[in-house]
């Protein structure tokens, strides 16, 4: 029971889902029981007419349970008829849905997996069937071959095949381009074997949801057929037939049509809920993502006790210095021994001082909300950068470098929130500003260049329009003047034939050109600080060199401070003045690039430098850091690097090292940083 309570606490959303699914399953079981045992239960009650007492009102037990839902115009009890009809209804709807599901899905997966002519022919066939009004088809067929349950099933199944065919085709065609299908082909797994192993398990759950919805359609079509007299033939009774019969008397006796209608809806909804649940629970990836989305939509709430986050860092070592965040009650850690960069004291921070930091980030902490509680992804990051200087934020994927940049730029994902720290732009803490003040800063104060230029540009606006936007918003320029400025800017970043290409759309530019456009947009208002988040990762080396040169030129031209976020040691070596090495959400070492790379003072930096395949290692084994970076949910206590560190000792498990000075303008967060520096 305790186990259950805990999972309820962690997965309220999922459990709610489960509860629905459970109820849905109960409904379906009840319907199935009625279908099977119905005839035994009610005998001839459903067909026995009682003309003396037609149209009894529902909700009265005076005449026995069978009349609880009233009676119809022939005095037959609606409740009993509902139960009797369950069997007939299901015996038409279930086979019809199953037939179309089976044929449509197999056909669709085959067409989608192979593509080519098989795909186009199949789609044409589907179009033909779909464009033929299914009711009309049913009428024709059933008039020609006298109405029978089998006939109805066949007609309904054929009419619905295209729906499954199309869905299955679309999903399999998407899978066809996926690498794991190619991987299977390299072992010789092709055709049906591949469809069975890879395509079907992915596509079928979706189709199941479609099928569940289709129940409703099939039952209603059957109702229409019954209305036309070619559906289920009395004295047999189905829900559809009941709706059809009740329709004429809707004014006088609403219950005759409404209850069977409700039965159809409730059955369909239950089937849909169960199908959705089945789809979620068969997909190993979905469960977690689903829970995450629900959790993320919740607003800021008090943190649960630390222990819930898992084997996380110990409370005192973990908490970040925080100016706001009233929910943080833990004692802040001792102040950093040395401010990571140029030691700006808060007193100094009031006004911009010559030579002072343009941007100083101090103790920045960011949490991500998950169903399992907040996960700290940035855990007290501090760095500073001066105008005209390039600071590299170096780290492996998932170490929190982008999250840091996004927090500073005010572009955090809704699921993430800043829970502590400051980011002072010329002395003013931008994290404390309201959204409007923030927006005013974006552009002239602080701007950002993203890795993926294509998704960062608006695909439906011309680049000229997009580049003119900052001038219109911030400088209030006229359309024409702003456009002239935009073209000037395009020329500045090296786009040939700028005035004619201003009318082009982003997708008409190559990757390198798009990155140039993005940079142009970012520097349009001459920002004091430019955050460049992996600006060249998507580009080729020869193009990357061009872009880095452009950034360097702009930086010295505009006296910007450039924060270069990257995982590429070579880029840092060539293009940065100072570097802040990040690991598991914190800065572990800072200093001038030459010194840090020449003489690393932190075991992680050292390991990283040694992992670079350089020529003197040629052919031999590389010195690699064992293991992989920790999951933010389970960062080791004490020093986050200790599980991979060759120098780890007992003290490393107990105490989290803080960034402490190890030399002029250098700092490292290691208990033995000083020793490494002196060695």
Question: Residue 625, interface with another protein (CB under 8 A)?
Answer: yes
Question: What is the residue-wise DSSP string for 495-525?
Answer: -TTHHHHTTS-GGGS-HHHHHHHHHHHHHTT
Q: How far apart are CA 276 and CA 307, in angstroms?
A: 33
**Residue 87 vs 661, nearer CB to ligand SF4:** 661
Spatial CB neighbours of 235, under 8 Å, sequence gap ≥ 6:
47
Question: Residue 116, interface with another protein (CB under 8 A)?
Answer: no
Residue with tokens 């779909």: 130
Q: How far apart are CA 457 and CA 242, in angstroms?
A: 57
> Could you tell which of ligand SF4, another protein, none binds residue 93, using a CB distance below 5 to 8 A set by kind?
none
Question: Residue 377, interface with ligand SF4 (CB under 6 A)?
Answer: no
Question: Residue 493, interface with another protein (CB under 8 A)?
Answer: no
Question: Residue 259, interface with ligand SF4 (CB under 6 A)?
Answer: no
| Residue of 290, 386, 501, 642 interacting with ligand SF4 (CB under 6 A) | 642
Question: Residue 596, interface with ligand SF4 (CB under 6 A)?
Answer: no
Reduce the DSSP state of residue 233 to 3 states and report it.
coil
Question: Residue 546, interface with another protein (CB under 8 A)?
Answer: yes
Question: Residue 414, interface with another protein (CB under 8 A)?
Answer: no
Question: Residue 379, interface with ligand SF4 (CB under 6 A)?
Answer: no
**Residue 286 vs 455, nearer CB to another protein:** 286
**Residue 59 vs 187, nearer CB to another protein:** 187
User: What region does 310 belong to: left with phi over 0, alpha with psi -120 to 50, or beta?
Assistant: left
Two tokens, residue 397: 């994927």
C-alpha Rg value of the chain to the nearest Å? 34
Residue with tokens 């030399």: 663
Q: Compute how many other C-beta atoms are within 10 angstroms of the C-beta atom of residue 618.
A: 7
Could you tell me the smallest distance in angstroms from the CB atom of residue 160 to another protein? 27
Stretch that binds ligand SF4, among 120-128, 257-265, 616-624, 670-678 (CB under 6 A): 670-678
| Residue of 648, 659, 667, 677 interacting with ligand SF4 (CB under 6 A) | 648
| Residue of 639, 659, 660, 677 interacting with ligand SF4 (CB under 6 A) | 639
Q: Tell me 197's DSSP state.
A: I
Length, in residues, of the chain: 679
Could you tell me the smallest distance in angstroms from the CB atom of residue 662 to ligand SF4? 12
Question: Residue 501, interface with another protein (CB under 8 A)?
Answer: no
Q: How far apart are CA 315 and CA 336, in angstroms?
A: 17
Could you tell me the smallest distance in angstroms from the CB atom of residue 620 to another protein? 9
| Residue of 16, 98, 140, 193 interacting with another protein (CB under 8 A) | 193
Q: Are 548 and 515 in contact (CB under 8 A)?
A: no
Question: Residue 603, interface with ligand SF4 (CB under 6 A)?
Answer: yes
Stretch that binds ligand SF4, among 109-117, 210-218, 546-554, 639-647 (CB under 6 A): 639-647
> Could you tell which of ligand SF4, another protein, none binds residue 603, using a CB distance below 5 to 8 A set by kind?
ligand SF4
Residue 663, CA distances (Å) to 344, 658, 676, 678 in order: 17, 15, 11, 9
Q: How far apart are CA 425 and CA 333, in angstroms?
A: 24
> Could you tell which of another protein, ligand SF4, none binds residue 145, using a CB distance below 5 to 8 A set by kind?
none
Q: What are the phi and psi torsion angles at 524 (to 5°)?
A: -50, -45
Q: What residues line the site for ligand SF4 (CB under 6 A)?
A: 602-603, 639, 641-642, 645, 647-648, 652, 657, 670-672
């Amino acid at each position: 029971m305790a186990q259950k309570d805990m999972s309820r606490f962690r997965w309220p959303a999922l459990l709610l889902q489960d509860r629905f699914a459970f109820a849905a399953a109960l409904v379906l079981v009840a319907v199935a029981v009625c279908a099977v045992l119905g005839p035994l239960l009610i005998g001839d009650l459903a067909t026995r007419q009682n003309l003396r007492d037609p149209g009894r009102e529902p909700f009265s037990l005076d005449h026995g349970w069978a009349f609880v839902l009233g009676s119809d115009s022939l005095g037959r009890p609606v409740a009993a008829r509902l139960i009797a009809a369950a069997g007939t209804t299901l015996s038409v709807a279930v086979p019809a849905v199953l037939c179309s599901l089976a044929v449509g899905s197999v056909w669709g997966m085959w067409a989608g997996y192979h593509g080519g002519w098989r795909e186009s022919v199949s789609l044409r066939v589907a179009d033909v069937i779909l464009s033929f009004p299914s009711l009309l088809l049913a009428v024709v067929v059933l008039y020609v071959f006298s109405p029978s349950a089998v006939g109805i099933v066949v007609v309904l199944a054929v009419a619905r095949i295209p729906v499954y065919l199309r869905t299955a085709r679309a999903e399999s065609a998407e899978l066809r381009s996926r690498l794991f299908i190619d991987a299977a082909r390299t072992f010789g797994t092709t055709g049906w074997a591949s469809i069975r192993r890879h395509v079907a398990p992915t596509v079928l759950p979706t189709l199941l949801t479609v099928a569940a919805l289709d129940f409703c359609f099939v039952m209603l079509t059957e109702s229409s057929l019954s209305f036309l007299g070619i559906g289920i033939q009395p004295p047999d009774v189905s829900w559809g037939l009941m709706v059809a019969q009740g329709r004429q008397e809707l004014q006088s006796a609403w219950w005759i049509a409404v209850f069977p209608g409700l039965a159809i809806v409730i059955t369909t909804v239950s089937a849909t809920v169960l199908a959705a649940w089945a789809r979620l629970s068969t997909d190993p990836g979905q469960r977690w993502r689903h829970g995450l989305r629900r959790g993320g939509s919740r607003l800021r709430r008090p943190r649960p006790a630390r222990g819930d986050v898992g084997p996380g860092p110990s409370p005192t070592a973990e908490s970040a210095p925080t100016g706001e965040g009233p929910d943080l009650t833990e004692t802040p850690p001792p102040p950093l021994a040395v401010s990571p960069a140029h030691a700006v004291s808060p007193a100094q921070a009031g006004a911009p001082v010559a030579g002072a930091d343009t941007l100083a980030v101090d103790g920045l902490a960011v949490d991500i909300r998950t169903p399992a509680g907040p996960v700290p992804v940035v855990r007290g990051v501090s760095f500073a950068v001066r105008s005209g200087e390039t600071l590299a934020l170096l780290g492996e994927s998932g170490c929190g470098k982008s999250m840091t940049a996004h927090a500073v730029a005010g572009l955090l994902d809704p699921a993430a929130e800043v829970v502590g720290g400051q980011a002072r732009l010329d002395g003013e803490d931008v994290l404390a500003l309201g959204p409007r003040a923030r927006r005013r800063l974006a552009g002239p104060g602080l701007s950002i260049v993203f890795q993926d230029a294509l998704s960062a540009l608006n695909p439906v606006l011309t680049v000229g329009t997009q580049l003119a936007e900052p001038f219109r918003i911030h400088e209030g320029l006229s359309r024409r003047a702003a456009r002239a400025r935009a073209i000037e800017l395009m020329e500045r970043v090296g786009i040939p034939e700028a005035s004619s290409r201003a009318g082009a759309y982003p997708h008409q530019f190559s990757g390198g050109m798009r990155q140039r456009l993005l940079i142009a947009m970012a520097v349009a208002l001459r920002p004091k600080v430019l955050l460049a988040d992996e600006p060249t990762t998507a580009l080729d080396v020869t193009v990357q060199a061009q872009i880095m040169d452009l950034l360097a030129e702009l930086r010295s031209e505009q006296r910007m401070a450039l924060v270069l976020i990257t995982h590429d040691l070579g880029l840092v070596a060539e293009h940065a003045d100072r570097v802040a090495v990040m690991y598991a959400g914190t800065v572990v070492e800072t200093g001038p690039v030459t010194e840090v790379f020449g003489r690393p003072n932190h075991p992680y930096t050292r390991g990283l430098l040694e992992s670079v395949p350089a020529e003197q290692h040629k052919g031999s084994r590389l010195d690699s850091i064992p293991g992989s970076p920790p999951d933010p949910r389970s960062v080791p206590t004490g020093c986050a690097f200790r599980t991979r560190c060759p120098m780890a000792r007992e003290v490393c498990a107990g105490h989290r090292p803080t960034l402490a000075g190890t030399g002029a303008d250098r700092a490292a967060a290691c208990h033995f940083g000083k020793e490494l520096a002196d060695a």
